[in-house]
Structure 1
Amino acid sequence: MLEVKLHDIGEGMTEGEILHYLVKPGDRVTADQPLVEVQTDKMVAELPSPGAGIVKEIVIDTGTTVQVGTTLLYIEGEGSPAAAAEAKPAEKAEMQAEKKQEKKTFIASFNRVLATPYTRKIARDHNINIEDVTPSDPSGRVTEEDVYRFIKGEQQPQQEAASTNEPPVSAQQTTPDEIPFRGMRKQIAKKMTKSLFTIPHVTHFDEVNMTNLLKLREELKEAGVSVSVPAFFIKALVIALKDFPIFNAELDEENEKILLKKNYHIGMAVDTKDGLIVPVVHDADKKSIKTIHDDIKRLNEKARDGKLAPADIQNSTFTVSNVGPLGSIGATPIINYPETALIAFHKTKKVPIVNEKDEIVIGHMMTLSMSFDHRVADGATAVAFTNRFASLIEQPNKLMLEMI
């Protein structure tokens, strides 16, 4: 008998919520076939089958949050007497033929409709076959708005229900006036609460003159090289973190130590339809600005498409939040526990400034806010850190020299 247990599929994961079983008792499964969707504090993941056999029993109900190591279901392994008894002799030849196509057929059915895990969950919660929902997006992706329109009966299903005269589910006219506090939203809440009530937060605000960096970026663009502003930010942060390693650290209270990390893995807070998620640019100190730009673009796309792998969200040592494009002018961000600090970049505005010649000119000024753990670092150190970062951004030629 094979036990399928919830195992650690993320960095330091301790629990997960069972969202949806992809099999039922009596189903034949193959090795590595996805069995169940699990919501961790960072992503939705599928647990694969450890071997081939027949699903005997599902132990944990959907919607239940369980600890790592909990048995979720049992599979009678192929070759066991019980599994052999399940298959009648006349069916054995058919079984062999089906097994060759089973995994392929399963995956094709599961991935046929483009939709995020959260959108799929809304459909499941309302007993809707997501394949019946008509997508409004030109790409063919079904959105949560599409599902809600279907629930209200504002659109017809793509296919009529086969061999039945029953009305479609949309006839229920259910009004989505409640949002279940589960899944990623609940996991984010737990992590934010732990961070805020464990770490004594202090937030330091500063301004950065972006004029020269934006000018350099335009010159690169005219030369055919496109590099995003956050790529410059991350490179400058790595240099500043090397000068102030206390912010690339983690407090180990139990052993009364501050662990200074030797790797520079920069997390990037990304707002998705499923909630806030933090993909990671690993080893940013070893990468060029252009490579960092490519990593940011790739990870953002994967985050918004719900395709991040566990490795994409692990081991961050410092986190950034680029909320300026959304119009933010300031905030007091919550630290990504157990890190020591998080920096947020806010809106860049054109304002009158006085240059080094005492002339009043138009400059591009950006506000930043940095929250840090006051048990680990002090305000003066935080000011020195952001001053170092600002000097590299304000004088991008100096940033280039630091990279040599």
Structure 2
Amino acid sequence: MVEVKLHDIGEGMTEADINCYLVKPGDFVKADDPLVEVQTDKMTAEIPAPRSGVIKELLLTPGQTVKVGTTLLIMEDSSGGSKTVELQKVAEAVNSEAPQADAAVVVLDRPAEVKVPVGVSARLGRILASPYTRKVARENAVNIMEVKGTGPAGRITEEDILAFVKLRDHGGASTSEAGSEQQVPNISKYASEQEVPNVSQRASESKAPNVSEVGSEVKTAAGHETVGKSQDILPFRGRRKQIAKKMVQSIYTIPHCTHFEEIDVSELIALREEIKASGNSISATAFFIKALSIGLKEFPVFNAKLDEENESIQLLREHHIGIAVDTPEGLIVPVIRNVEQKNLKQIHDEMKRLTKLALDDKLTVQDISGGTFTISNVGPLGGSIGATPIIQHPQTALVSFHKTKKRPVATDQDEIVIRSIMNLSMAFDHRVADGATAVAFTNRFAQLIENPKLMLLELM
């Protein structure tokens, strides 16, 4: 017997939520076939089969939060018995007759036939599609069972879902049109021992929180009972729960101190317009990131990690700057690596790439790990004039950029002019740095942003 356990799939994770099982007892799987879909605080991932074999028992239920090292299911090695070998041989034989499908079903008795759309593995009772593709299907109210897969082995892709939606919205899509069918034998002696899972139901399970109504009698915060009314409940799990744990760890571990500053971005706006007129485009955030990197070279204490056990502060030479992205499933922080080595155009392009991956829920472990400093640009959301952001433990600092507004400003010549002013909030670990150092750091940042052409000296 083989125990399949939840292992660390990225940056020291300690637990994950079980989204859904992709197999059922009695299924034969090959090595690296996906078995379970899990949700960590940063990403959705599939746990693969360590080797070929037959699924014996599923030990957990979807929605559970489990620790790393927890056994998820038990499977029997493909070399463990004649029944397993027979299952494997029959499955491979049928699979060779139906090359479009990812797998076939086991046939031992009646030759009755069932119809299975391309893109659905009858052997596994699952849909051949990535977590992101299933998410696109849910968002567009698509029964993924009805979609024809055009990917390898009939795998359903994002483009397949969008094409299905286009046909459906024009009244041209149906089950028969969207999913080509192939003849595969029916499950009999072994597969009939377990009811084939409802694939449509599993595919419709959403990773996003579902709102549900609770009870006819609800007590309010004041203790009063309201009869006949219901309230909305958001499940506290998945990314939301993991974010909460990270924030609690940070706020209880790090003595936060927040410094506020005003930055005149008028010259930066003018420079960006000049660049845009030349046929190029560089976002303001790219300038902010580059200016921060220059400042971190001069004040490396803010690009550091405190090692209390060894009583040392590790000053990190590489600037791996995380960019907080607000997604429908919660905040996530992809990382632009080695910013100190990148120019403005490279920073801009990498930021756009990572932001799109974050919104599409396609980030990899590499994309979200190893950050040494974090920024949050909430200015485009509007209305924000300040904040007390929580640091990404074990980092030392985080800078948040807020809304830019035009304001009257007095010049050194006592003249009143209209300038574009942006507020900045910088949270830092007071164990590692003091307020005076934070002020010096933001002053250097302000100097570079208020005179953006100074950044050109970094290229010489």
SS in 2 for 1:235: helix
Mapped to 2, the partners of 1:261 and 1:291 lie a distance apart of 21
* 2:437 corresponds to 1:367: no
8 Å CA contact 2:53–2:84 kept in 1: the answer is no
* 2:275 corresponds to 1:256: no
The alignment covers a number of residue pairs equal to 372
For residue 421 of structure 2, what is the amino acid of its counterpart? M
Mapped to 2, the partners of 1:7 and 1:245 lie a distance apart of 34
Mapped to 2, the partners of 1:304 and 1:331 lie a distance apart of 24
Q: Displacement of 1:100 after TM fit?
A: 7.8
The verdict on how the C-alpha distance between 1:90 and 1:402 changes in structure 2, with shifts beyond 3 A counting, is: closer
Q: Displacement of 1:403 after TM fit?
A: 3.2
C-alpha offsets along residues 145-181 of structure 1, whole Å, 9 cap, x if unaligned?
xxxxxxxxxxxx9869xxxxxxx999xx975821111
8 Å CA contact 2:403–2:422 kept in 1: the answer is yes
Mapped to 2, the partners of 1:286 and 1:262 lie a distance apart of 11
SS in 2 for 1:335: coil
8 Å CA contact 1:15–1:68 kept in 2: the answer is yes
Q: Displacement of 1:2 after TM fit?
A: 3.5
8 Å CA contact 1:53–1:83 kept in 2: the answer is no
Query: What's the counterpart of residue 302 of structure 1?
Result: 357
Q: Where in structure 2 are the equivalents of 1:187-266 lying within 5 Å?
A: 187-266=242-321
Structure 2 portions without partners, runs of 5+: 104-118, 148-158, 163-172, 177-199, 205-210, 214-230
Query: What's the counterpart of residue 178 of structure 1?
Result: 233
8 Å CA contact 2:25–2:58 kept in 1: the answer is yes
8 Å CA contact 1:25–1:57 kept in 2: the answer is yes
Mapped to 2, the partners of 1:139 and 1:102 lie a distance apart of 17
Q: Displacement of 1:399 after TM fit?
A: 1.1
Which of the residues 427, 440, 446 maps onto 1:390? 446
Which of the residues 356, 381, 389 maps onto 1:333? 389
Query: What's the counterpart of residue 78 of structure 1?
Result: 78
SS in 1 for 2:421: strand
Q: Displacement of 1:257 after TM fit?
A: 1.6
8 Å CA contact 1:23–1:36 kept in 2: the answer is yes
Query: What's the counterpart of residue 17 of structure 2?
Result: 17
C-alpha offsets along residues 299-318 of structure 1, whole Å, 9 cap, x if unaligned?
11110111111110000000
Mapped to 1, the partners of 2:343 and 2:432 lie a distance apart of 30
For residue 403 of structure 1, what is the amino acid of its counterpart? L
8 Å CA contact 1:113–1:131 kept in 2: the answer is no
For residue 56 of structure 2, what is the amino acid of its counterpart? K
The verdict on how the C-alpha distance between 1:270 and 1:71 changes in structure 2, with shifts beyond 3 A counting, is: same
The RMSD of aligned alpha carbons is 3.3
Query: What's the counterpart of residue 346 of structure 2?
Result: 291
Q: Percent same amino acid at aligned positions?
A: 55
Q: Displacement of 1:53 after TM fit?
A: 2.4
Q: Displacement of 1:22 after TM fit?
A: 1.3
Which of the residues 101, 104, 110 maps onto 2:129? 110
C-alpha offsets along residues 277-307 of structure 1, whole Å, 9 cap, x if unaligned?
0000011111111011001101111101111
Q: Where in structure 2 are the equivalents of 1:338-349 lying within 5 Å?
A: 338-349=394-405
- For CA contacts below 8 A with separation 6 or more, give which structure has more relative contact order: 1
8 Å CA contact 1:202–1:374 kept in 2: the answer is yes
Mapped to 1, the partners of 2:348 and 2:290 lie a distance apart of 10
SS in 1 for 2:272: helix
C-alpha offsets along residues 83-116 of structure 1, whole Å, 9 cap, x if unaligned?
5355297666225546884267559643498454
Which structure has greater helix proportion? 1
8 Å CA contact 1:15–1:40 kept in 2: the answer is yes
8 Å CA contact 2:95–2:101 kept in 1: the answer is no
The verdict on how the C-alpha distance between 1:88 and 1:197 changes in structure 2, with shifts beyond 3 A counting, is: closer
Structure 1 portions without partners, runs of 5+: 142-156, 161-167
8 Å CA contact 1:251–1:258 kept in 2: the answer is yes
Query: What's the counterpart of residue 372 of structure 2?
Result: 317
TM-score (normalizing by structure 2): 0.73
SS in 2 for 1:87: helix
Q: Displacement of 1:52 after TM fit?
A: 2.5
Q: Where in structure 2 are the equivalents of 1:159-178 lying within 5 Å?
A: 175=213, 177-178=232-233
